[in-house]
């Protein structure tokens, strides 16, 4: 159930040991995260039917949380212990998290802005996703550049991407946007489909396997929830029309949730991504721009930045017209952006570290006095 398999069972045994064998602790998958808290469903090999529980972060597990990615994300498999029901409070007993089973993949982006106080500004999108549909729609939403960013995100996460052009019923000739996408997708397959007419749906199904977890990614209004409903064969999630004027979505879906379809497929629907800030390194970006990476190996200088250096093979290809100008500009922007964010992050991360240290260390004052008495800053 919910994608549990032998390799999860192995991990659970290794980490949970006898408490797991005695069923004191059991596996549960995080299916929904709301502002008010997280919900998980019980899983594992015991024949018992799945039940839902509220996740509680406390005790040793909570104390061990140092970074945002240490927190449970949607799709995570947890080992939990049911707190004994309180005889006075008749509400359901919460599930105390003991451990997160090692993730098979982790989709994350940089959180926008530094106000979140996250040490590394990372925002988890989902854990243990097998395949992600990187969606862009025919019409106003169409953006090969956004698909490139999503591809880089997948590269950094261990998720298999599949590029999807949605709403092909709206295009006069879908071959044009499809070939634009093929230009930017490297070896990643590109599928055109319409949840409205059903075109391309059979082809999509060929890529999906029961028990696998599929994530739908793309900006608001591309048709993620509509596709989820089409795959399910009935209405699971709310959808709403895009804005008349500019064709933008209206952010209908407001939280991340995993749905288990009758076919056994598990689908993550999530809010539209407003911006895709990369949580990647240069290698992930290069993987999305293989033609640039290939040219770079012929540059005169090994640390060539491909901006103005003499003997730069990338600039030469640009000049000769064999490298697409748009691809080059977008590649440069992504590289610059991650370099800028890395620099900004170092300072902010240090500040967060300092604040945390101050809060945790009860002997802080004494320590500072001691340091001061020894003439240290
Ligand atoms: N013509 C056409 N319209 C579609 C198709 N798929 C979705 N739509 C419409 O596009 C609009 C937005 O669809 P949603 O499924 O709500 O989009 P979403 O990606 O879930 O948007 P958010 O939840 O805001 O992120 C709805 O009016 C859908 O009916 C399609 O294949 N063809
Ligand atoms: Mg939606
Ligand atoms: Zn160069």
Show me where the domains of the chain are located: 6-102, 107-269, 282-352
Atom of ligand 1 nearest to the CA of 195: 31
The CATH classification of domain 6-102, taken from the options 2.40.30.210, 3.40.50.300, 2.40.50.140, 3.40.190.10: 2.40.50.140
Residue 260 has pLDDT above 50, yes or no: yes
Task: Place 352 in a pLDDT band, splitting at 50, 70 and 90.
Answer: low
- What spacing in Å lies between the alpha carbon of 16 and ligand 2's midpoint? 37
- Taking the CA of residue 374 as centre, how many other CA atoms within 13 Å lie in the half-sphere pointing to its CB? 6
* pTM of the complete model: 0.85
How far apart CA 238 and CA 269 sit, in angstroms, is 11
Please name the residue whose Cα sits nearest to atom 16 of ligand 1: 239
Report the percentage of the chain scoring pLDDT > 70: 82
- What spacing in Å lies between the alpha carbon of 296 and ligand 2's midpoint? 40
Instruction: Give mean pLDDT, residues 354-363.
Output: 44
- In sign, the C-alpha dihedral spanning 279, 284, 289, 292 is positive
Per-residue model confidence as pLDDT tens digits over 132-151: 999 999 988 899 999 999 99
Atom of ligand 1 nearest to the CA of 193: 31
CB of 200 sitting under 6 A from ligand 1: no
How far apart CA 201 and CA 180 sit, in angstroms, is 21
> Which comes out higher in pLDDT, residue 127 or 44?
127
How distant, in Å, are the alpha carbons of 147, 264, 285, 314 from that of 161? 10, 20, 14, 27
How far apart CA 232 and CA 207 sit, in angstroms, is 15
Average pLDDT for the chain? 85
214, two tokens: 């599929």
How far apart CA 370 and CA 348 sit, in angstroms, is 27
Residue 200 has pLDDT above 80, yes or no: yes
Residue 115 has pLDDT above 50, yes or no: no
CB of 242 sitting under 6 A from ligand 1: yes
Q: Are 199 and 159 in contact (CB under 8 A)?
A: no
> Which comes out higher in pLDDT, residue 61 or 375?
61
Residue 119 has pLDDT above 90, yes or no: no
> Quick one: 107-269 is in which CATH superfamily?
P-loop containing nucleotide triphosphate hydrolases (3.40.50.300)
Q: Which of 47-56, 187-196, 363-372 has the least mean pLDDT?
A: 363-372
Task: Please determine, looking at this structure, whether the domain spanning 282-352 carries the CATH number 1.10.40.50.
Answer: yes
The b-or-e profile of 239-273 (16+ CB within 10 A means b, else e) is beebeeeeeebeebbeebbbbbbeeebbbbbbbbb
Q: Are 243 and 272 in contact (CB under 8 A)?
A: no
Instruction: Give mean pLDDT, residues 84-100.
Output: 78
pLDDT of residue 120: 53
Q: Are 81 and 100 in contact (CB under 8 A)?
A: no
Q: Are 228 and 216 in contact (CB under 8 A)?
A: yes
CB of 221 sitting under 6 A from ligand 1: yes
pLDDT of residue 92: 75
Instruction: Give mean pLDDT, residues 9-25.
Output: 94
């Amino acid at each position: 159930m919910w994608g549990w398999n032998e390799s999860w069972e192995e991990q659970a045994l290794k980490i949970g040991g006898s408490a797991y064998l005695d069923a004191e602790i059991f596996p549960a998958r995080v299916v929904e995260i709301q502002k008010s808290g997280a919900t998980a469903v019980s899983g594992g090999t015991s024949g018992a039917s799945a039940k839902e529980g509220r996740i509680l972060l406390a005790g040793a597990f909570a104390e061990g949380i140092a970074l945002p990615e240490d927190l449970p994300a949607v799709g995570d498999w947890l080992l939990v212990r049911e707190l004994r029901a309180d005889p006075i409070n008749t509400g359901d007993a919460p599930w105390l998290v003991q451990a997160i089973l090692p993730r098979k993949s982790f989709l994350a982006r940089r959180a926008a802005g530094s106000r979140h106080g996250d040490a590394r500004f990372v925002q988890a999108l989902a854990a243990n996703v097998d395949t992600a549909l990187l969606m862009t729609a025919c019409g106003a939403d169409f953006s090969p550049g956004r698909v490139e960013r999503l591809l880089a995100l997948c590269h950094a996460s261990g998720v298999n991407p599949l590029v999807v052009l949605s709403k092909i019923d709206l295009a006069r000739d879908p071959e044009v946007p499809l070939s634009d996408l093929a230009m930017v997708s490297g070896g990643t397959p590109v599928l055109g489909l319409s949840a409205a007419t059903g075109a391309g749906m059979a082809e999509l199904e060929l890529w999906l396997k029961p028990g696998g977890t599929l994530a739908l990614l793309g900006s608001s209004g591309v048709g993620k929830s509509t596709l989820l409903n089409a795959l399910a064969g009935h209405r699971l999630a709310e959808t709403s029309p895009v804005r008349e004027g500019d064709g933008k979505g209206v952010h209908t879906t407001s939280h991340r949730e995993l749905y288990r379809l009758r076919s056994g497929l598990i689908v993550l629907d999530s809010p539209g991504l407003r911006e895709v800030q990369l949580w990647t390194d240069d290698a992930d970006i290069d993987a999305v721009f293989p033609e640039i990476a290939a040219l770079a190996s012929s540059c005169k200088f090994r640390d060539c930045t491909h901006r103005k250096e003499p003997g730069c093979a990338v600039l030469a290809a640009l000049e000769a017209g064999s490298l697409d100008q748009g691809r080059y500009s977008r590649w440069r922007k992504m590289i610059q952006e991650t370099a800028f964010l890395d620099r900004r992050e170092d300072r902010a991360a240090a500040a967060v570290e300092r604040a945390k240290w101050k809060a945790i260390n009860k002997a802080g004052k004494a320590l500072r006095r001691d340091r001061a008495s020894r003439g240290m800053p």
